Amino acid sequence: MNIITRPHKLRGIEGRIGIEKISRRSVLTGLGIAGGLVLAAPVTSRQAFAAYETGAGKMPHGTVVDPRVFVAIASDGTVTIVAHRSEMGTGVRTSLPLVVAEEMEADWSRVKVAQAHGDEVKFGNQDTDGSRSTRHYLMPMREIGASARVMLEAAAAKRLGVPVTEVKAVNHEVVHSASGRRLGFGELAADAAKEPVPSIGSLKLKDPKDFRYLGKGQVSIVDLRDITVGTAQYGSDTRLPGMKYAVIARPPVTGGKLVSFDATDAMKVSGVEKVMEVQGWPWPSKFQPLGGVAVIARNTGAAIKGRDALKIVWDDGANGKYDSVAYRSELEQAARKPGLVVRKEGDVDGALKGADKVIVGEYYLPHLAHVSMETPVAVANVRDGKAEIWAPVQSPGGTREDAAKTLGIPEDNVTVNVTLLGGGFGRKSKCDFALEAALISKAIGAPVKVQWTREDDLRHDFLHTVSVERIEAGLDKSGKVIAWRHRSVAPTIASTFAANAVHAAPFELGMGLIDMPFEIANIQCENPEAAAHARIGWFRSVSNIPRAFAVQSMVGELAHATNRDQKDMLLELIGSPRLVKLDSVKDPWNYGEPFDSYPIDTGRLRRVVELVADKGGWGRSVPKGHGLGIAVHRSFVSYIATIVEVAVDDKGKLSIPRVDTAIDCGTFVNPERIQSQIEGAAIMGLSLAKYGEITFKDGKVQQGNFDNFPVVRMDEAPLITNVHIVPVAADTPPSGVGEPGVPPFAPALVNAIFAATGKRIRALPIGKQLET
């Protein structure tokens, strides 16, 4: 995701810069620890290496593997481990510190987690997106933990006057078994801090069979209790002395501008203190604020009431005619004509001409809004050339850079405190809301909270794209698929950064289009042009949603056309277990990972299909009106297959008695959180399939809240979602979990609906299409 946004950033090991600027004091204050140890010293930054290579080193600022940055031990034995990734519900704030604790033999009950502020020079890349936290940091965190363990053991050996080979860290102590003497981590902290940090090459990592925490799923998230008693701190919960509350009226059309406003009535509202213009940036505005009119008040309720009383004249600008009905037709027309060829094997035109039968599927998927339960919100305190921000951001490092640029002050003068995120789903990887707070605070000289209402969230989101996916599949006389043309046309995320970007970016092509894994002789993927008229951004699993929907729906269509079982058709198309070569694709994107470590492995793809078929009872008999559907998709370098059982009643109302999902995400840390992510992915998949649609008319979003942008509620949720995790060898590289559960759900559902009713859904949302 950083390809376009911050190309200027240092990458890889070049990210080892500025180390001398970080003092021991800054480590301690950052952790809020008084006294005690302290594995804190001048920091060096090192590149992690491992049995397998990941793309971590290529992320902006790369990876920092240093126990003195991530671990502190107080003299009472309390171990503090830094979580440098943002917590939005995946459990990462627990999982990565748990990995450190595992390797250093810390007792988890004596571990505290401290959230890192935004500082990528110090902590390495912090962009919590792309389902890559565990993928990129499992091994570095193990190395950090192992380094701390070695330092503690060295300190203990010196204290006891024995060779270091005779001592061993065990559950928060270092034990000399020959004499039975033991020293607690707290007692050793000060001495351990003076030990040299071992070279990564010298570290001996734990044998996975000795793991106490990893892979067990027995540890609850660190914020569990706080969440249940209401003390967990989200972005919206930040309170500062003298803090004001603001809401902003933003241009209703993307790229629109403020012409004039009348604040007379707004200023009469009880509690309203000030009305002011907020600077906006020209389209395409990247992550910068849209501008508008801010109402500042003593509380949020007054600010909202004040905003309702504003009279504003807008200039709608170039996107004032954006109309979803007309745009759909434009996309369909584009998908029916040749487009930019992005993958080509064999001769698709010839094979389609010579085919015995050609099946054509054209699929439409509309814009989606993220609607995280916590709307965008941020607090900023800007004064005397310094800025402090508290915000639920997925990208604290990027937020810091952008805030510095927006305010015109050095990055060193900006502190970004990362709160818990009340959901993110990609929305909070864009920091526009934090920049708004910074601009307003600077203008009024006081701390301010900018609160987005739900209407703001729906109307000014960085939306999931809107797309038409058209697949033509040619079959020979025996029913074998010999030709596959996939045209994917959708406005690109690149349009949010570059004017006139009309083709998919490499990372979008790599999400289910050019990496299509089927074993077919003639394959062609095309990407016709599409212009954007709204802010387009990353939405959980991104382009994989429309691509998986199209490809896996087409599998269902082919099964029907050839009178075969869906699962058998799917396995036949996947073909033999092999590593898919994308030789015809120039520089294919693989989620930023090297293909050597993360190939497209159809053996693993087949295995999740077979596993879910086995565990999910594929082929079982179901009651009348019920149907089973299956789909599989590789995304974020993980392999996921889903079976949905649907029940459609005689009025066309659908319910979901059961979902089964099999996931192969390589080595994993916390299976219990994988399960929760997949349970949630089924709900999100069902929401987008059943209801998800943002539409535009006259350039304006027509939806505003959960009444006209519904999401699934408990009474329509699947009765049960079973999650089956593929066990893998311990050295299998870890892969994504947060996002890849979403893409296979909707196609499995429409395949199930077809099995239940004989109706083929080709456009989402399902809405009223099944009603009779």
Partner 1 sequence: MIKLKINGQERNWDGDPDLPLLWFLRDEIGLTGTKYGCGQALCGSCTVIVDKEAVRSCITSVSDVVNREVTTIEGLHPTGDHAVQKAWRQVNVPQCGYCQAGQIMQAAALLLDNSKPTHDQIREAMSGNICRCGCYQRIENAVHLASTGV
492 half-sphere exposure, CB direction, 13 A CA radius: 24
Q: 52: which 2 tokens? A: 């397998």
Cα–Cα distance for residue pair 49/65, rounded to 1 Å = 10
Q: 153: which 2 tokens? A: 């053991």
Q: Contacts by 407-411 with C-beta closer than 8 Å and gap 24+?
A: 407/382, 407/438, 407/439, 407/442, 409/385
Which of residues 229 and 325 has its CB atom nearest to partner 1 in the complex? 229
**Contact criterion met (CB below 8 Å) for 760 and 699:** no
Which of residues 223 and 323 has its CB atom nearest to partner 1 in the complex? 223
Which of residues 97 and 306 has its CB atom nearest to partner 1 in the complex? 306
Q: Which residues within the stretch 574-593 sit at the binding site for partner 1 (CB under 8 A)?
A: none
Q: 372: which 2 tokens? A: 């995280």
Report the nearest approach of partner 1 to the CB of residue 235 (Å). 10
List CB contacts of 743: < 8 A, sequence separation 6 or more.
512, 541, 544, 545, 547, 548, 549, 633, 635, 640, 685
Is residue 98 at the binding interface for partner 1, with CB under 8 A as the rule? no
Which of residues 72 and 683 has its CB atom nearest to partner 1 in the complex? 683
Cα–Cα distance for residue pair 438/363, rounded to 1 Å = 42
Is residue 419 at the binding interface for partner 1, with CB under 8 A as the rule? no
Among 339, 718, 733, 736, interactor with partner 1 by CB under 8 A = 718
Residue with tokens 């939405």: 539
Report the nearest approach of partner 1 to the CB of residue 670 (Å). 10
Stretches 165-173, 395-403, 422-430, 487-495: which one binds partner 1 (CB under 8 A)? 422-430
Stretches 104-112, 226-234, 353-361, 724-732: which one binds partner 1 (CB under 8 A)? 226-234
523 half-sphere exposure, CB direction, 13 A CA radius: 21
End-to-end CA distance of the chain: 43
Stretches 317-325, 402-410, 461-469, 674-682: which one binds partner 1 (CB under 8 A)? 674-682
Longest alpha-carbon distance in the chain: 83
Is residue 242 at the binding interface for partner 1, with CB under 8 A as the rule? no
Stretches 5-13, 466-474, 596-604, 672-680: which one binds partner 1 (CB under 8 A)? 672-680
Could you tell me which of 98, 122, 153, 107 has the C-alpha nearest to residue 40? Answer: 122
Could you tell me which of 126, 28, 26, 21 has the C-alpha nearest to residue 72? Answer: 28
Cα–Cα distance for residue pair 554/472, rounded to 1 Å = 9
Is residue 644 at the binding interface for partner 1, with CB under 8 A as the rule? no
**Contact criterion met (CB below 8 Å) for 38 and 186:** no
Site string for partner 1, 166-205 (x = CB under 8 A): ----------------------------------------
Report the nearest approach of partner 1 to the CB of residue 666 (Å). 21
Is residue 373 at the binding interface for partner 1, with CB under 8 A as the rule? yes
Is residue 425 at the binding interface for partner 1, with CB under 8 A as the rule? yes
Stretches 104-112, 402-410, 568-576, 670-678: which one binds partner 1 (CB under 8 A)? 670-678
Site string for partner 1, 538-577 (x = CB under 8 A): ----------------------------------------
Q: What letter does residue 626 receive in the DSSP assignment?
A: E
Is residue 87 at the binding interface for partner 1, with CB under 8 A as the rule? yes
Stretches 3-11, 117-125, 299-307, 522-530: which one binds partner 1 (CB under 8 A)? 299-307
Interface with partner 1 (CB under 8 A), residue total 68
**Contact criterion met (CB below 8 Å) for 379 and 438:** no
Cα–Cα distance for residue pair 142/62, rounded to 1 Å = 16
Is residue 270 at the binding interface for partner 1, with CB under 8 A as the rule? yes
Q: What letter does residue 493 receive in the DSSP assignment?
A: G
Question: What are the Cα distances from residue 404, in Å, to 80, 367, 397, 438, 676?
Answer: 29, 32, 11, 10, 37
Is residue 228 at the binding interface for partner 1, with CB under 8 A as the rule? yes
Host H or E run for residue 67: helix 67-70
Report the nearest approach of partner 1 to the CB of residue 140 (Å). 25
Which of residues 84 and 658 has its CB atom nearest to partner 1 in the complex? 658
Helices within 82-206 (DSSP H only): 92-104, 120-123, 133-160, 185-194
Which of residues 28 and 659 has its CB atom nearest to partner 1 in the complex? 659
Site string for partner 1, 449-478 (x = CB under 8 A): --x-xxx-----------------------
Which of residues 30 and 130 has its CB atom nearest to partner 1 in the complex? 130
**Contact criterion met (CB below 8 Å) for 645 and 656:** yes
Among 285, 672, 702, 763, interactor with partner 1 by CB under 8 A = 672
Cα–Cα distance for residue pair 63/13, rounded to 1 Å = 8
Is residue 677 at the binding interface for partner 1, with CB under 8 A as the rule? yes
Is residue 221 at the binding interface for partner 1, with CB under 8 A as the rule? yes
Which of residues 266 and 755 has its CB atom nearest to partner 1 in the complex? 266
Cα–Cα distance for residue pair 331/752, rounded to 1 Å = 27
Report the nearest approach of partner 1 to the CB of residue 171 (Å). 24
Stretches 19-27, 118-126, 202-210, 448-456: which one binds partner 1 (CB under 8 A)? 448-456
Phi, psi angle pair for 134, to nearest 5°: -70, -40
Cα–Cα distance for residue pair 755/752, rounded to 1 Å = 5
Is residue 707 at the binding interface for partner 1, with CB under 8 A as the rule? yes
Residue with tokens 């930040």: 238
Which of residues 171 and 270 has its CB atom nearest to partner 1 in the complex? 270
**Contact criterion met (CB below 8 Å) for 537 and 466:** no
Is residue 691 at the binding interface for partner 1, with CB under 8 A as the rule? no
**Contact criterion met (CB below 8 Å) for 496 and 537:** yes
Which of residues 62 and 738 has its CB atom nearest to partner 1 in the complex? 738
Among 178, 579, 720, 730, interactor with partner 1 by CB under 8 A = 720
379 half-sphere exposure, CB direction, 13 A CA radius: 20
Q: Which residues within the stretch 301-340 sit at the binding site for partner 1 (CB under 8 A)?
A: 301-302, 304-305
Among 706, 730, 731, 759, interactor with partner 1 by CB under 8 A = 706
Is residue 236 at the binding interface for partner 1, with CB under 8 A as the rule? yes
**Contact criterion met (CB below 8 Å) for 551 and 544:** no
Among 566, 721, 732, 751, interactor with partner 1 by CB under 8 A = 721
Report the nearest approach of partner 1 to the CB of residue 79 (Å). 23
The SS3 call for residue 568 is helix
The footprint of partner 1 (CB under 8 A) covers 87-91, 220-221, 223-225, 227-232, 234, 236-237, 239, 245, 269-271, 298-302, 304-305, 371-375, 420-425, 451, 453-455, 672, 676-677, 679-684, 705-707, 711-718, 720-721
